[in-house]
Structure 1
Amino acid sequence: MIQIKDLHKSYHMGSNSLHVLKGINFNVKEGEMVSIMGSSGSGKSTLLNIIGILDEADSGSYVLDGVPIKNLNEKVAANYRNKFLGFIFQSFNLINYKSALDNVAMPLYYQGIKRKERIEKAEYYLEKVGLTPWLNHLPSELSGGQKQRVAIARALASNPKVLLADEPTGALDSKTSQEVMELIQGINDEGKTILMVTHEHDIAQMTKRIVHLKDGVIIDDSPVQQVRASVYV
């Protein structure tokens, strides 16, 4: 599903250059659930942004579901993001003046799907994450866990090949984190490929493979015995 070979990325600040990724080799198979860990500045967010087609590497290759991702103009990049990828962010990134239903339906608008079908799909995915009673509520009327469930429903609505989660439990308390991870694990159990950045070891243990980054290189990439999320904490 994801094939990355000898990926390099630097950022230039005036006369200085910061080499963030230093020859990353990394593959993810369809249906895997992988977490990326590393301290601040290790390169994990940069790697996720490149995989999410939000940034581009300086050199190396990145192939997503058989499609080489290289030198894309913004229109093509946006189309690939919409076609291949679903995003879950720590800060939820919901539109405050739109209901949960409209937030979930929004990506489908950009796919050219008619309103009736958009609403039906949004209702289906909100039901899937247990939020049918709140579908007409604004984000300000929802708890943090409910907001993240809306974000997950929105990510799923366009039926992406890969879900990219950037610290999906970072803004949540322990119990709500367990609830969200239980939902994410269930999505993976259905066959969805999930790639997640986290700094929380207990959350990483709920995936099936942990990749450790340090100073722009992968220092460890190992399968783990997955810990199932439990809401009874």
Structure 2
Amino acid sequence: MIEIKDLHKSYRTGATSLHVLKGINFSVQEGELVSIMGSSGSGKSTLLNILGMLDEADEGSYTLDGVPIKNLNERIAAKYRNKFLGFIFQSFNLINYKSALDNVALPLYYQGVSRNERMEKSYAYLEKVGLADWAKHLPNELSGGQKQRVAIARALASDPKVLLADEPTGALDTKTSYEVMDLIQGINDEGKTILIVTHEDDIAHMTKRIVNLKDGIILDDSRVQQVRAIENV
């Protein structure tokens, strides 16, 4: 599903160059639930941005579902993001003046899906995350956990190949975090490939594999005994 080989990325800062990723080799099979951990400056956000086609590596290769991701202009990158990827963010990134239903429908709008079909699919995904009764509510009428559930429904709406979650529990209390992870585990159980960037060890152990980054290299990549989130709710 994802194949990264000898990935390098540097950023210019004035007269100096900061080498952030230093030869990353990394693959993810369809249906995996993987966490990427690392302290600030480890390169995990840069890696996620490259996986999300928001940035491009200087050297190495990135293949997603058999498609080489390289030298994409913004139009093609946006097309591939909409086709292949769903994003879940720490800050939810919901549009404040749109209802939960309209927020979920947004990726389908960009796919050219008709309004009636968008609304039908979006309502079904809100139902899936337990928020059908909140479909007409605006984000400021929702709790943090509800907002993240809307964001997850939006990420799922376009039926992406991979979900990329950037600190999806970072803005939530412990109980709500575990409820969100229970939902994510359930989506993975259905076969969806999911990558989670997190700095929280308990959240990482709710995945099936932990990749540890430090100073731009992978220190450790291990399969772990998954802790079911529902046992901690």
Normalising by the residue count of structure 2, what TM-score does the alignment of the two structures yield? 0.99
The corresponding residue for 2:24 is 24
The corresponding residue for 1:100 is 100
Matched ranges for 1:1-233 at <5 A = 1-230=1-230, 233=233
8 Å CA contact retained: 1:50, 1:57: yes
Q: SS of 1:207's equivalent? A: coil
Total equivalences in the alignment: 233
8 Å CA contact retained: 1:175, 1:231: no
Q: SS of 2:230's equivalent? A: coil
Q: In the TM superposition, what whole-angstrom CA distance separates every residue of 1:86-121 from its partner, at most 9, and x where no partner exists? A: 000000000000000000001100000000000000
Alpha-carbon distance in structure 2 between the residues aligned to 1:116 and 1:14:
51
Q: SS of 2:191's equivalent? A: coil
1:16 Cα shift? 1.0
1:231 Cα shift? 6.5
CA root-mean-square deviation: 0.7
Q: Please, which runs of 5 or more residues in structure 2 have no aligned partner?
A: none
Alpha-carbon distance in structure 2 between the residues aligned to 1:68 and 1:140:
40
Q: SS of 1:230's equivalent? A: helix
Alpha-carbon distance in structure 2 between the residues aligned to 1:71 and 1:83:
17
Alpha-carbon distance in structure 2 between the residues aligned to 1:72 and 1:129:
34
Q: SS of 2:9's equivalent? A: strand
Dislocated runs of 4+, deviation >4 Å: none
8 Å CA contact retained: 1:6, 1:61: yes
Alpha-carbon distance in structure 2 between the residues aligned to 1:85 and 1:216:
24
Residue type of the partner of 2:173?
D
Q: SS of 2:229's equivalent? A: coil
1:230 Cα shift? 2.2
Q: Please, which runs of 5 or more residues in structure 1 have no aligned partner?
A: none
Normalising by the residue count of structure 1, what TM-score does the alignment of the two structures yield? 0.99
Identity, in percent, stands at: 82
Q: SS of 2:47's equivalent? A: helix
